[in-house]
Amino acid sequence: MAAIVKYGIIGVGMMGREHLMNLHHLRDEGVAVVAVADPHVPSQQLSLELAHSFSWPLKVFSGHKELLESELCDVLVVSTPNMTHYRILMDIINYPKPHHVLVEKPLCTTVSHCKEVVEAARKRPDILVQVGLEYRYMPPVAKLIEIVKEGSLGQVRMVAIREHRFPFLVKVNNWNRFNINSGGTLVEKCCHFFDLMRLFVGANPVRVMASGAIDVNHKDEIYDGKVPDIIDNAYVIVEFDNGSRGMLDLCMFAEGSKNEQEISVVGDVGKGEAYVPESIVRFGTRQAGRDGVQTLKAEDPRIKYDGLHHGSSYVEHLNFLTAIRTKGEKGPAVDLQDGLISVAMGVAAQLSIEYGRFVTIEEVMDKVKI
């Protein structure tokens, strides 16, 4: 049996505890969570109770620096509020003892911070950093990616992603109610979808046009005298360097939906669709027409725990563990470049709404004065 891989979780709010649950279900793969860090005492308590229910002894720290200095861990999961990722990642990457890192999306809230993290990590070939864009692993999405990759749809020309869901959940100190903390809805929430678009079209984004607003949610909420400024709906169009286009239709006051995500990918040969949480994939070709459309139930037999994201976090951890054990021969499945570009697309979309025009990825990446 391979040596036990020891994990520490930095930030044990809802998502941190979700990682704890996933890692518990991976215990047969030789993993253990040995430490957590969080300044918020109620979150510490909840994670301790959870770990005790698994008979996992936990060391609890109030900050990430103490956890780092304990040198108890091989791998760190960063699931703290978005605006803290940059500082924590820089501290981990610059720490003498190497720790592999799985960081929740978005990588950072700004492009310049993402770029600094990418640069710092380049100097540490002994560290693997994976970004938590786990929607790739939801069974119906993974199946659709497979269909696209094997060329069944031909050259992909259009990707349309609809997310119609519930409003943002309440977080510790309501940090996610403000753009300054989250990076904005199109960074915080939608980096997942921009990542998928890029994956489906097999190309990089060139420019982005968006229209969005805060129309229904959070308007009657006030925190420390401030009203939330995060948008709750938007349309975003993305143009890619191979001529393909992506479109996002986001609505966060659409609880009356059968599916939360509906993804449509159209190539010059055929069309594929994925539905979450129905876990259904449909695909057909132009030649076979409507009668030839096939419907599949998407399942992944590896998944032992569905959790909050339909088993995708479980697969994410499984993949990262493989990358760690093979000493990065394959590299992390979702690397820092993927994290950077998904944030750049979200930032471009947020700016497009603000300025009422197309925003190029180049200007966002170069921080040219807009």
**pLDDT single digits (tens) 215-265:** 999 988 999 889 999 999 999 999 999 999 999 999 999 999 999 999 999
Condensed to tens digits (0 to 9), the pLDDT of residues 302-314 reads 999 999 889 999 9
Condensed to tens digits (0 to 9), the pLDDT of residues 174-210 reads 889 999 999 999 999 999 999 999 999 999 999 999 9
Condensed to tens digits (0 to 9), the pLDDT of residues 83-111 reads 999 999 999 999 999 999 999 999 999 99
Condensed to tens digits (0 to 9), the pLDDT of residues 346-369 reads 999 999 999 999 999 999 998 643
Judged by DSSP in three states, 281 sits in strand
Residue 224's pLDDT is: 87
Q: Give me the mean pLDDT over the 67-79 stretch.
A: 97
pLDDT reading at 370 higher than 50: no
Residue 331's pLDDT is: 77
Residue type, 367: K
Q: Which two tokens stand for residue 57?
A: 């002894």
CATH fold for domain 135-304+340-364: Dihydrodipicolinate Reductase; domain 2 (3.30.360)
- How, if at all, do strands 280-285 and 294-297 pair? antiparallel
Mean pLDDT of the chain, nearest integer: 95
DSSP string, 179-237: HHHHS-HHHHTTHHHHHHHHHHHTS-EEEEEEEEE--STTTT--BTTB-----SEEEEE
Q: Which residues contact 62 (CB under 8 A, 6 or more apart)?
A: 37, 38, 39, 44
Beta bridge pairs of residue 276: 261
pLDDT reading at 333 higher than 90: no
User: Is the separation of the CB atoms in 14 and 171 below 8 Å?
Assistant: yes
Residue 1's pLDDT is: 53
Model pTM score: 0.95
Residue 368's pLDDT is: 42
Condensed to tens digits (0 to 9), the pLDDT of residues 263-279 reads 999 999 999 999 999 99
What architecture is the 5-134+312-334 domain classified under in CATH? 3-Layer(aba) Sandwich (3.40)
Structural domain boundaries in the chain: 5-134+312-334, 135-304+340-364
Condensed to tens digits (0 to 9), the pLDDT of residues 130-178 reads 999 999 999 999 999 999 999 999 999 999 999 999 999 888 888 899 9
Residue 174's pLDDT is: 86
